[in-house]
Amino acid sequence: MNTQLTTDQITFYQENGYVVLENFLTPDELARWRSATDEAVAQRLASVDSSLTNQSSPEDYYAQVFTQCLKLAETHSGMREIMFDPNLGQLAATLAGVDGIRIWHDQALIKPPYGNPTGWHLDNPFWSFTSRDSISLWMALDDATESNGCLYYVPGTQKTETRGNTSIDKNIGGLFKTYPEWREIPTVGCPCPAGSAVFHNGLTAHGAGANMTNKPRRAMTCAYMPDGSTFNGTRNILPEAYFESLKVGDLLNDNTINPLIWHA
Ligand SMILES: O=C(O)CCC(=O)C(=O)O
Ligand SMILES: [Fe+2]
pLDDT in tens, the chain (264 residues): 999 999 999 999 999 999 999 989 999 999 999 999 999 999 999 987 777 889 888 889 999 999 999 999 999 999 999 999 999 999 999 999 999 999 999 999 999 999 999 999 999 999 999 999 999 999 999 999 999 999 999 999 999 999 987 778 789 999 999 999 999 999 999 999 999 999 999 999 999 999 999 999 999 999 999 999 999 999 999 999 999 999 999 999 999 999 999 999
> Which of 164, 43, 158, 172 has the alpha carbon at shortest distance from 108?
43
Supply φ then ψ for residue 86, to 5 degrees.
Answer: -60, -25
Instruction: Choose one of 151, 200, 201, 225 to mutate for the ligand 1 pocket test, by most ligand atoms within 8 angstroms of C-beta.
Output: 151
Q: Are 248 and 233 in contact (CB under 8 A)?
A: yes
Q: Are 20 and 190 in contact (CB under 8 A)?
A: yes
Q: Are 83 and 76 in contact (CB under 8 A)?
A: no
Within its chain, how far is the Cα of 54 from the centroid? 15
Q: What is the pTM assigned to this prediction?
A: 0.97
Would you state the pLDDT for residue 254? 98
Number of C-alpha atoms within 13 angstroms, CB side, residue 44?
27
In angstroms, the CA 211 to CA 261 distance is 33
Residue nearest to atom 8 of ligand 1 (CA): 138
Ligand 1: atom nearest CA of 138 is 9
Would you state the pLDDT for residue 167? 79
In angstroms, the CA 258 to CA 225 distance is 8
- Which residue type sits at 59? E
Three-state DSSP class for residue 116: coil
Q: Which residues line ligand 1 (CB under 6 A)?
A: 66, 109, 111, 118, 123, 136, 138, 149, 206, 208, 219, 221
Residue nearest to atom 6 of ligand 1 (CA): 207
* Residue 4 burial (C-beta neighbours within 10 Å; 0-12, 13-18, 19+): exposed
CA separation, residue 210 to residues 3, 18, 230 (Å)? 30, 21, 36
Would you state the pLDDT for residue 169? 79
Domains of the chain in start order, with CATH, are: 7-257 (2.60.120.620)
Residue nearest to atom 1 of ligand 1 (CA): 109
Q: Are 107 and 73 in contact (CB under 8 A)?
A: no
Ligand nearest to the CA of 151: 1
Ligand nearest to the CA of 66: 1
In angstroms, the CA 230 to CA 101 distance is 13
Ligand 1: atom nearest CA of 118 is 3
Would you state the pLDDT for residue 160? 97
Q: Are 102 and 200 in contact (CB under 8 A)?
A: no
Taking the CA atoms of the chain, what radius of gyration do you get in angstroms?
Answer: 17
